[in-house]
Amino acid sequence: MVQFLPSSATAQVTVTPNIVDTVLTLIVPPDVIQGESFLMSGELRRTDTNGLLAGETITAVYNGTALGSDVTQNGTYNIDGVINEMGTYTVTVNFAGSTRPGLTLRPSQGTFNVILGAGATVPLMVGGIAALSVILMAISLK
């Protein structure tokens, strides 16, 4: 008959936090019109796995003024914004970071420069005036 004697073993385990960097992208349309709504969109991803992160809050600001926020759905977000004054602005989206069970996500941000004004219409107006001048000159030469 085999007799078992009590035995034990111990080991020391150090549990470290799983801290992951994030990447936040930002897409803004190239033509933003003063006083009209425009859509900002993008993705929030983990850098270690490139996986999309759902359920995280993204906020958008321009030159320190809030534009709006959204919670990521399947890792993507959409924020409608309006800028009422002409000028050049830096639009920034921010993810403040978060902690989930067993995972800490580091903050990240994305930026995009936006110019509001008559930029798209000024060349057309100048071209129109220049074309009109050529037509008037042609008529006066006859």
CA distance to 30, 53, 135, per residue, from 41 (Å): 13, 14, 45
CATH of the domain at 48: 2.60.40.10
Per-residue confidence in pLDDT tens, the chain, 142 aa: 778 888 889 999 988 889 999 999 999 987 888 999 999 999 999 999 999 999 999 999 998 899 999 999 999 999 999 999 888 889 999 999 999 888 999 999 998 888 776 443 333 333 333 333 333 334 344 4
Give how many domains the chain has, as a whole number: 1
Q: Which is nearest to 77 in space by CA: 111, 42, 105?
A: 42
Q: Hey, CA dihedral for 122, 123, 126, 132, is it positive or negative?
A: negative
Structure-token pair, residue 91: 């639009």
142 in a structural domain: no
124 in a structural domain: no
Residue numbers of the domain that contains 40: 19-117
CA distance to 47, 52, 61, 127, 138, per residue, from 108 (Å): 11, 14, 14, 43, 59
The predicted model scores a pTM of 0.71
